[in-house]
A and B are shown apart, each in its own frame.
Chain A
Amino acid sequence: MPIVNAFSKAVVRDFSLEELKEAARLMRGYDLVALCAAGSGHTGGTLSMMDIVAALYLKIATHDPNNPEWQHRDRIIWSGGHKAPALYLGLAFAGYFPIEEVVTLRKLYSPFQGHPHRLKLPGVEVSSGSLGQGLSIAVGMALAGKLDYDEHSVFCIMGDGEQQEGNIWEAVMEASHYQLDNLVGIIDRNRLQIDGLVKDVMNVEPLADRYRSFGWEVIEIDGHDMEQVVSALQKAKNVPVLGKPTVIIADTVKGKGVSFMENVAGWHGKAPSHDEMIKRTGRAWAEGRHRI
């Protein structure tokens, strides 16, 4: 189910596959504008995640932008807090706040902190930024969901480099021990981290086998194929294997959508210059003349 009204349960907005693709395309544009205005930030990983973010926030997760604390909402935990601009755009496109506000990214007093802070922005479930902690938080939330006999799902977005954190594997173990079939891990496998290729920095593969051996259900997809993204998320949310947490390992391209950024490790933690931004989005974006 998509965006709903928490009180009436009426569907407020649903997106078709084509609309999701278009939303993801626009979100990438806004991402570049916000990062350019900020002068710093994480371009590569936000671009690689954007198709999944569009699907999750606009079609899969049940939530109400007017009631961010609605008890029965699906929870989305961003373990990799550095991808905050993608989170902000997911919330903005879902209707939590006007999209243009995200352009205050990383500025003093802004609700759009460099890494997300829940006390600054409704819709942000937890404050994150130190890698490896999100899946444990998601485990705690999934346990709470089970204790409350509530049927919502808990999604946790992680990176593939992040799988190097030992804390992750403590949580992976716990999720299967407690049979948390209301928990969905999502790994943005773009295969790059700051120092280079994940396999060279510290190999985390075979990720699918590792998760399977810990008792998880694994779905591997092309993270830029909207049909596969939606189908995997729907399966994990609506028909999980009974008693098993699911992880969706999404193969993605770091810097996706910008030719000169794709698969370049250097774009992990770097923002585009004004010229670079225009090169990708066109002058209309810089001048605010684009259309949603």
Chain B
Amino acid sequence: MQKAAEYQAEVEATLAAKLPTFSRDYWWNTGDTMKVKMEPTRKGFGLSLKNNGDDERVVCLGLDISGSITISEFYYGNPQRTNRWISLGIAEQSATAAAVGLARDGKLPVFGTYGTFAAARNLDQIRVSVCYGNFNVLIAGAHGGVSVGPDGATHQALEDLFAMCGLPNMSVVVPCDAVETRKATDYLLLEHVGPKYIRFAREATPIVTREDTPFVFGKANVSRLRHQSPDMIDAFETVLAAEYADENEDLSIIACGPMVPEAMRAAWILKNEFGYETRVINMHTMKPIDQEAIIRAARETGVIVTAEEHQIGALAWRVSGILTESPELFGIPIITGAIGVKDRFGDSGAPWELIKEFEISAEHIAQKAAELLALVQVKKQDERLELTC
């Protein structure tokens, strides 16, 4: 035990050295203000299934990880639903195709497991049977990102969104907290028709939305820091990006999933440390992505940082793809940065340690943004000098 404690102390020292430092500690719930409640996003998934499970069309498939990913909430306390609970064991490929058979006959099948086994192990079944046939199957990529930290690299889903976003007909939603996960599941389960993938986390992450916060599939939200307050959720105003009026901010951070709370915390750091105003964009729907919100962020702020709990690219490359394909941005200088996992496999460790090890914390986002903004300043000075010469 002594040895383990010494080892852990060394790890923590290493991680502390990796974390960018500012005039104070901004880490979650370390100060007296900007506090957050934390809850695993998976809870929102289970709650939705519990609430909507009376719909006779809903059929949930068990893949031997049911309690952990909360899909079992579908039948807990509702024994009359057990005939629509179909345990298929550790057989992801077959379950994926079986879901197609159920969907073919008008059911609303739902299955889920660790993101990497829900989106990679069975990728061919998803591609051909689910997506090509365009079937109404809800796939839950649970324990996404660093959530299953100590399990190590095999179980950390850090590539699932590449595959899911690359499939025709597939829709992909990565909600930012438990509340948004519940809303997203409600929508995807009962309203959205077609192949759909929702990715959520195992670890408790900050709650940054409320019941009345907008959630519209395919439409991003903008969150703006208005003031410091005891609870972080009160410090931000959140509206649909389409209804947001430009405030001439210094930069935009486009984030998805639990990186949204990190982006909000980064906005707080950037405001406190540098006086920068940040447009935080919650891109909860990765496919179809809200192009207009991205184009506007580029045109109106000129600085874009993406943040994803994933190998860099699922979000970053989609955003850059839209910037590349938008003629309306011709002639407008844009500088971009990407926060995410840098083409490496994971490691065993506590989820919050991995956030630091992978360099995807709010501190890293803020540091990256500050670097980009410094470059913008240098460029502007150079242009002024050229003008005076």
- B128 touching A129 by the CB < 8 A rule? yes
B contacts with A, residue count (CB < 8 A)? 31
Residue A170 at the B interface, CB < 8 A? yes
CB neighbours of A128 from chain B (8 A): 128-129
**Nearest chain A CB to B241 CB, angstrom units:** 33
- B101 touching A137 by the CB < 8 A rule? yes
Selected from A75, A119, A133, A144, the residue in CB contact (under 8 A) with B128 is A133
In Å, the complex CA distance between A130 and B93 comes to 12
Residue B104 at the A interface, CB < 8 A? yes
Q: Which of B102-140 contact A (CB under 8 A)?
A: 102-107, 109, 124-125, 127-129, 132-134
Residue B83 at the A interface, CB < 8 A? yes
In Å, the complex CA distance between A72 and B369 comes to 60
Selected from A145, A147, A166, A171, the residue in CB contact (under 8 A) with B83 is A147
Would you give the 0/1 interface string for A239-252, flagging 1 where the beta carbon is closer than 8 Å to chain B?
Answer: 00000000000000
- B129 touching A144 by the CB < 8 A rule? no
CB neighbours of B109 from chain A (8 A): 140
- B84 touching A136 by the CB < 8 A rule? no
Selected from B59, B94, B100, the residue in CB contact (under 8 A) with A174 is B94
Please, which residue of chain B has its CB at the minimum distance from the CB of A139?
B98
Residue B216 at the A interface, CB < 8 A? no
**Nearest chain A CB to B334 CB, angstrom units:** 39
In Å, the complex CA distance between A117 and B132 comes to 8
In Å, the complex CA distance between A129 and B127 comes to 11
CB neighbours of A174 from chain B (8 A): 88-89, 91, 94, 98
In Å, the complex CA distance between A125 and B83 comes to 25
- A145 touching B105 by the CB < 8 A rule? yes
CB neighbours of A119 from chain B (8 A): 133-134
Selected from A77, A117, A133, A141, the residue in CB contact (under 8 A) with B102 is A141
Please, which residue of chain A has its CB at the minimum distance from the CB of B87?
A177
Would you give the 0/1 interface string for A83-126, flagging 1 where the beta carbon is closer than 8 Å to chain B?
Answer: 00000000000000000000000000000000001110000011
Residue B86 at the A interface, CB < 8 A? yes
In Å, the complex CA distance between A118 and B127 comes to 14
Q: Which of A161-190 contact B (CB under 8 A)?
A: 166-167, 170-171, 173-174, 178
Please, which residue of chain A has its CB at the minimum distance from the CB of B91?
A170
Residue A142 at the B interface, CB < 8 A? yes
Residue B99 at the A interface, CB < 8 A? yes
Residue A148 at the B interface, CB < 8 A? yes
Residue B96 at the A interface, CB < 8 A? yes
A contacts with B, residue count (CB < 8 A)? 34
**Nearest chain A CB to B154 CB, angstrom units:** 19
In Å, the complex CA distance between A137 and B107 comes to 13
In Å, the complex CA distance between A58 and B155 comes to 50
CB neighbours of A118 from chain B (8 A): 133
CB neighbours of A40 from chain B (8 A): none
- A144 touching B94 by the CB < 8 A rule? no
In Å, the complex CA distance between A77 and B134 comes to 16
**Nearest chain B CB to A1 CB, angstrom units:** 20
In Å, the complex CA distance between A148 and B129 comes to 22
Selected from A117, A125, A137, the residue in CB contact (under 8 A) with B98 is A137
Residue A127 at the B interface, CB < 8 A? yes
CB neighbours of B98 from chain A (8 A): 136-137, 139-140, 143, 171, 174
- B102 touching A140 by the CB < 8 A rule? yes
CB neighbours of A6 from chain B (8 A): none
Residue B239 at the A interface, CB < 8 A? no
Residue B97 at the A interface, CB < 8 A? yes
CB neighbours of B132 from chain A (8 A): 117, 127
CB within 8 Å for A136 and B101 given contacts A147-B59, A170-B91, A171-B94: yes
CB within 8 Å for A133 and B101 given contacts A127-B129, A143-B86, A144-B107: no
Q: Which of B21-48 contact A (CB under 8 A)?
A: none
Selected from B83, B100, B105, B125, the residue in CB contact (under 8 A) with A167 is B125
CB neighbours of A147 from chain B (8 A): 59, 83-84, 107
CB neighbours of B91 from chain A (8 A): 170, 173-174
In Å, the complex CA distance between A142 and B107 comes to 12
**Nearest chain B CB to A183 CB, angstrom units:** 10
**Nearest chain B CB to A101 CB, angstrom units:** 22
**Nearest chain A CB to B111 CB, angstrom units:** 11
CB neighbours of B107 from chain A (8 A): 144, 147
Residue A138 at the B interface, CB < 8 A? yes
**Nearest chain A CB to B204 CB, angstrom units:** 34
- B94 touching A136 by the CB < 8 A rule? yes
CB neighbours of A166 from chain B (8 A): 93
- A137 touching B100 by the CB < 8 A rule? yes
In Å, the complex CA distance between A86 and B107 comes to 29
- B86 touching A136 by the CB < 8 A rule? no
CB within 8 Å for A137 and B97 given contacts A130-B128, A173-B91: yes
- A137 touching B129 by the CB < 8 A rule? yes
In Å, the complex CA distance between A213 and B134 comes to 35
**Nearest chain A CB to B14 CB, angstrom units:** 42
Would you give the 0/1 interface string for A143-155, flagging 1 where the beta carbon is closer than 8 Å to chain B?
Answer: 1110110000010
CB neighbours of A132 from chain B (8 A): 93
Please, which residue of chain B has its CB at the minimum distance from the CB of A133?
B97
CB within 8 Å for A144 and B83 given contacts A167-B93, A167-B97, A170-B94: no
**Nearest chain B CB to A170 CB, angstrom units:** 3
CB within 8 Å for A127 and B133 given contacts A137-B98, A144-B101, A167-B97: yes
Q: List 6 A-B contacts (CB under 8 A).
A: A75-B104, A126-B100, A126-B133, A127-B133, A130-B127, A133-B129
Closest 7 CB pairs of A and B: A140-B101, A136-B97, A170-B94, A144-B105, A140-B98, A141-B101, A170-B91
Q: B residues within 8 Å of A by Cβ?
A: 59, 83-84, 86, 88-89, 91, 93-107, 109, 124-125, 127-129, 132-134
Q: A144-B107, A148-B105, A174-B94 are in contact. List 13 more A-B contacts (CB 8 A).
A: A75-B104, A125-B104, A126-B104, A126-B133, A127-B128, A137-B100, A138-B101, A139-B98, A141-B102, A144-B102, A166-B93, A173-B89, A174-B91
